[in-house]
Amino acid sequence: ENVSTIYKLQVILQNNQKGEWDIDKLVERLKSVHMEFTVDPHILQSFQQLIQWTSTLALHLMASVPEFKQRKGPGFDLLNDKKVLTTLRELLLLIRIWGLQRQSCLPTFTRTVDNFDVIAKVFSLITKFNENSNDESILDDCLLLPSQVMIPPLNSRISNRGILATARIPSFYAFEDEPDYPQESSQESLFIEGTMGTNQSIDIIRYVFLGRNPCSVKECTR
């Protein structure tokens, strides 16, 4: 049954791939089968971090389109893979439907333009880009994204923060005694102009900020 439900969603999206970029119209067409996508509210809430990460990834990919015209960067191969874009489109539609069931599971973004619908805009851009990546109007819309919404950081790689990572001389350590060793902080340059920069530690599994103190508890290297 779950397979047939997923297949039904894929068929609906494929049939509307060329003409339909309005996510709300698709949600309206799926109203008769909304119950098939229903998830237990408690389980759905546990998806919030994954929903946030998926939405942030889609936003990053679209905001990176203008940069990819000049240079390659994180996400370049994903953006040129039609299967990936199709999957993201399906997930964004599911997120929209789930949001009708439990609004607290929806991703949160800081908007700089009133009434700017991030999910709807990204869904529209992914649909259009997947059909015609050379459309200049899509490039213009992607260029405006950082001025319409604050793009959260998306750490694509983890810098080594171990004790020996910056060691230049022999060090001595004792149990239950945190060593006073030098720290080197190198902030990664932002690929997308306008992205929210941060030097905070992030748990890349749950995608939450960990804070700084105490570092032995808060810092995570997963």
42 assigned to some structural domain? yes
> Model-level pTM greater than 0.85?
no
User: What are residue 151's phi and psi, to 5 degrees?
Assistant: -85, 115
103 assigned to some structural domain? yes
41 assigned to some structural domain? yes
- Residue 66: name the closest of 150, 133, 152 by CA: 133
Would you call 130 helix, strand, or coil by DSSP? Answer: helix
173 assigned to some structural domain? no
Report the number of distinct structural domains present in the chain.
1
Q: Which structural domain range is residue 38 located in?
A: 1-147
215 assigned to some structural domain? no
47 assigned to some structural domain? yes
Nearby residues of 27 by Cβ (< 8 Å), 6 or more positions away: 93, 96, 97, 100
Q: 1 falls in which pLDDT band (50, 70, 90)?
A: very low
- Residue 95: name the closest of 62, 120, 63 by CA: 120
Whole-number Cα distances in Å, 164 to 204, 215, 217: 22, 16, 19
Per-residue pLDDT, 180: 66
Q: Label residue 176 left, alpha or beta by phi (over 0 means left) and psi (-120 to 50 means alpha).
A: left
Tens digit of pLDDT for each residue in 38-57? 888 888 888 898 999 999 99
50 assigned to some structural domain? yes
10 assigned to some structural domain? yes
